[in-house]
Amino acid sequence: MSVTDELVLAEQRGATCVLTLNQPGKRNALITETYQVMSAHLDRVLDDPQVANVVLTGAGDFFCSGGDLLSLETRAALPLAEREERIEHLHALVRKLKFFPKPVIAAIEGGAAGAGASLVFAADLVLAAEGSYISLAYVKAGLVPDGGGSGFLALSLPHQLAAEIALLGGRLPVERFAAAGVVNRVVQPGSALTEALALGASLAEGAREAQATILTLLDAPHREAFEQQLEREKRAISLALGGAEAAEGIAAFKQKRAPCFPLPATE
């Protein structure tokens, strides 16, 4: 097994394939290679009739902290077209998860932030440990959501709650998402994977072709709108990444200080 392969571990548990983000020392932060490895695993799952569903989880005590903010400094120096190309790696994975024809269950311990939250939102069912949180804190670095984050918020939540999540960038407890219907079950800490596997086993006993058709029907009304939003996000974050606010936000993160964002330029 190569170092790249170890970024995402795949394990067959009954009729469920468990995909585990495997960078616990970095709170399972995402890099481009992570998207590629996970996508390849999903392709294999799709072709395997013995696999009924997928559980997505993170190694250790945290689901996923999202992309590595420090790597964005290098990406900001790239031409706009190359920035957009890098974002497309994430969007391709989110698109595959969102429209996957076998049920995808997210099992959250600790928290899901940034692009990690997008992976959660792309799942069909979400189980989260009590006391864990979901966060889209892009604005704190002078950036905007990617990975379908704004699309998921706009299509799934009331505007005011979506605005609170995206504009304030705070850590919202999963209990609030459960109240909004985005998290299906809040479970005891340490039990998210066990509970997700039990749910996967239950689904596997059901009519699998019917489940696939149901997922297609549920996705159909919003598919075009979501695809369009991914394109908007790709452009928006690529532009933001090359701007003065992102430069200050990333610098402040590196220097462990509060950012002092410049005022918008006037014509």
What percentage of residues in the chain have a pLDDT greater than 70? 99
Continuous segment of H or E residues that includes residue 54: strand 53-58
pTM equals 0.95
Position 248: which residue type? E
The Cα–Cα gap between 254 and 130 comes to 31
β-pairing, 133-135 vs 185-187, is unpaired
Residue among 227, 226, 57 at smallest CA distance from 153? 226
What is the rounded distance in angstroms from the CA atom of residue 142 to the CA atom of residue 73?
Answer: 12
pLDDT at position 50 over 60: yes
Could you report the per-residue pLDDT of 146-201, keeping only the tens digit for each? 999 999 999 999 999 999 999 999 999 999 999 999 999 999 999 999 999 999 99
In the structure, what pLDDT confidence band is assigned to residue 70 with cuts at 50, 70 and 90?
confident
- Residue count of the chain, please give it: 267
The residue among 53, 31, 50 whose CA lies nearest residue 124 is 53
CATH 3.55.10.10 fits 5-208, yes or no: no
* Strand ranges for 131-229 from DSSP E: 133-135, 171-173, 185-187
